[in-house]
Structure 1
Amino acid sequence: MASRGRVTAYLPEEIQKALEEWAEEDSRSVSSLATYLLTKSGLLDKCRKVTRLGYAIVRSRKVCKINR
């Protein structure tokens, strides 16, 4: 199984409630729904490609070289 990271997101309350309702309707966790939505958006593929090349996306949304 691929290793998993942890992300904390601060969302407006109305978005959080909408995600919780959606997740409940789909019988999944909010975390699972967020992973699904990010995967569908293509964002995770972009992140994987960048990290395979030895770079990381940091808070400022800049891409920085990883020193290995």
Structure 2
Amino acid sequence: MVGIWTGEKLQLWVNGKKKESIRKMEPSPADNPVLIGAGFIGMIDEVRIYNRVLSPEEIAGHYGEKASK
């Protein structure tokens, strides 16, 4: 799963495919910590954080890397 904040909207990608975009979100202030999995019961693996927006090709490529292992 990939979430991309473009500065205007949040895009959600699941299994290498774009699912939806949400425009009415506001970004968190830069000094707030990043919380991954808060309230989630289970294991989270293969987390990557980028300081730029990934292209659809990059997202599909990352999904393909994991799927081929």
Q: Structure 1-normalised TM-score?
A: 0.21
Decide which structure has greater helix share: 1
Decide which structure has greater strand share: 2
Whose radius of gyration is greater, 1 or 2? 1
